[in-house]
Amino acid sequence: MKNILYFAVLLVLFAQCTGTQTVTDTIKDTVTNNGGLDRSKAPQPGPAPKIQLGDYEEFTLPNGLQVIVVENHKLPRVSFQLSMDNDPLLEGDAAGYASMAGAMLTKGTKTRTKAELDEEIDFIGARLSSSDGGIFAASLTKHVPTLLELVSDVVLNPSFPQDELDKMKKQRLSALASSKDDPNDIARNVANVLRYGKDHPYGELVTEGSVEKITLDKCKEYYKTYFRPNVAYLAIVGDIDAEEAKKMVGKYFGAWEKSEVPTYSYKTPEAPSSRKMAFVDKPGAVQSVISVTYPVNLKPGTPEAIKSRVMNQVLGGGVFSGRLMQNLREDKAYTYGARSSLSTDKLIGRFSAGASVRNEVTDSSIVQFMHELNRMLDEDVAADHLQLVKNSMTGSFARSLERPETMARFALNSLRYKLPKDYYATYLEKLNAVTIADVREMARKYIKPDNAYILVVGNKDEVASKLGGFASSGKVDFYNADGDPIE
């Protein structure tokens, strides 16, 4: 009863406020127009939001170590990311030794065994890891001096114990044995070989034979040659004062000796002159792993980098609205997920599109992949789809700014790739400015359905005979799991 009376009072008040206009008209006008806004039409996108990036300090030690400090005092934690900026290395018959050399840095020093180092790290609740690309460490602010002393010991005085190398080689051999049964690992390895060739660092494979040839001397040689401060960046993020950081870095890393580091150049891989159909047999497989791939010459920070990323998102950059996902999953139900990627790289990037599908629809799935690649060349993206993609990318970028590590990454990228000072500050403006014509232009430059490797890892007896027609030559080329051609 009270609700009925309350509603009646509202009707009277509406009638008094609207004069001769009826209550129904008033409500309708309020819902549809809302002060002049037409809710029946989608609002036009507004201007790109202005990005206010946080400040960071930058300095260089006399030995060449470049340091970036991003202060963030919200939590009492500090992280240290040491990144080596070396040219990719062709490792030869001992492929895999560089990664082992990097991992061995934390396996003991000249003053601490691995067990002692691990115990000291655990005691202060810190994190410490290493690779051929550098070192990551983090701890509470109050433990930073202790942590930096440990990191300095790891960087300047690694001991490379033989027993730790032996353990790592056994673990790597075990992992390689397991990967030979994983069709996704097989596809990844063979795709690298097809794109780049085994005489390129990105196409070189680690095998059982190469692991067996890794020696302690090779690991020490890598460390001595390539782990140098004059090719390194140190990003410090967290609850630390920039001036204090400068003093600590000088104290703990000032003695790190610089020296000349070799540089390398390689022949630039190119997409195949015609479409190739490659197959790796996986007996008994009930699914096929499909990968459509080729190298692309797309450098970080170029004007095309953002435009091409938008184009790839339209095609299938990991979002459900992508054309590949809508076709192969939502419409045809061939797969759980179909995606594409277009990567930038200072040496050579790549395009790849793929999915895992049932044996019986392998050929049909490739038809749809080719259809969507050609559609990118022939059909403009719809305006609402383009806006959806840009909105999604804007949201991802904005969320990334919540992490202080993002600012350090931006600063590091700006230094490594010599980006314009305002590259990230104006990122959303450049993203928002991408047009339908830009998407078509990027597709015509980087989508090459007639110059691609179509790789399938699957059951030869059930699948291979149906695939010859996808190759320009009309035949299927067969490979083993290491990317070597076979009859």
Chain segment 328-352, per-residue pLDDT in tens: 999 999 999 999 999 999 999 999 9
Instruction: Look at residue 398 and tell me if it is in a domain.
Output: yes
Give the model's pLDDT for residue 126. 97
The total of structural domains in the chain comes to 3
Residues 199 and 113 in one domain: yes
Residues 311 and 195 in one domain: no
Residues 80 and 184 in one domain: yes
Instruction: Look at residue 227 and tell me if it is in a domain.
Output: yes
Query: For residue 41, what pLDDT band results from cuts at 50, 70 and 90?
Result: low
**How many other β-carbons are positioned within 10 Å of the β-carbon of residue 99?**
19
Query: For residue 127, what pLDDT band results from cuts at 50, 70 and 90?
Result: very high
Chain segment 449-476, per-residue pLDDT in tens: 999 999 999 999 999 999 999 999 999 9
Give the model's pLDDT for residue 328. 97
Higher pLDDT, 269 or 422: 269
pLDDT above 50 (res 6): no
- Buried/exposed 238-272: b ≥16 CB within 10 Å, e otherwise: bbbebeebbebbbebbeebeeeebeeeebeebebb
Give the model's pLDDT for residue 20. 39
Q: Are strands 134-140 and 127-131 parallel, antiparallel or unpaired?
A: antiparallel
Instruction: Look at residue 49 and tell me if it is in a domain.
Output: no
Residues 240 and 357 in one domain: no
pLDDT above 70 (res 27): no
Chain segment 178-200, per-residue pLDDT in tens: 999 999 999 999 999 999 999 99
Instruction: Look at residue 48 and tell me if it is in a domain.
Output: no
Give the model's pLDDT for residue 25. 47
Chain segment 303-323, per-residue pLDDT in tens: 899 999 999 999 998 678 899
Chain segment 146-165, per-residue pLDDT in tens: 999 999 999 999 999 999 99
Instruction: Look at residue 70 and tell me if it is in a domain.
Output: yes
For the chain, give percent helix, strand, coil, nearest 5.
Answer: 45, 15, 35
Instruction: Look at residue 139 and tell me if it is in a domain.
Output: yes
pLDDT above 90 (res 28): no
**pTM to 2 decimal places:** 0.87
**Average of pLDDT values for 204-219?**
97
Distance CA 199, CA 182 (A): 24
Residues 352 and 453 in one domain: yes
Give the model's pLDDT for residue 361. 98
Chain segment 378-403, per-residue pLDDT in tens: 999 999 999 999 999 999 999 998 88
**Average of pLDDT values for 115-128?**
97
CATH no. for residue 380? 3.30.830.10
pLDDT above 80 (res 40): no
Instruction: Look at residue 263 and tell me if it is in a domain.
Output: no
- Cα 19 to Cα 10, 14, 198: the distances in Å are 15, 9, 83
Give the model's pLDDT for residue 283. 95
Give the model's pLDDT for residue 404. 82
Give the model's pLDDT for residue 420. 87
Tokens of 354: 């793929």
For every residue of 117-151, which 3-state class applies, written as one string?
Answer: HHHHHHHCCCEEEEECCEEEEEEEHHHHHHHHHHH
The range of the structural domain enclosing residue 343 comes to 276-482
Residues 102 and 145 in one domain: yes
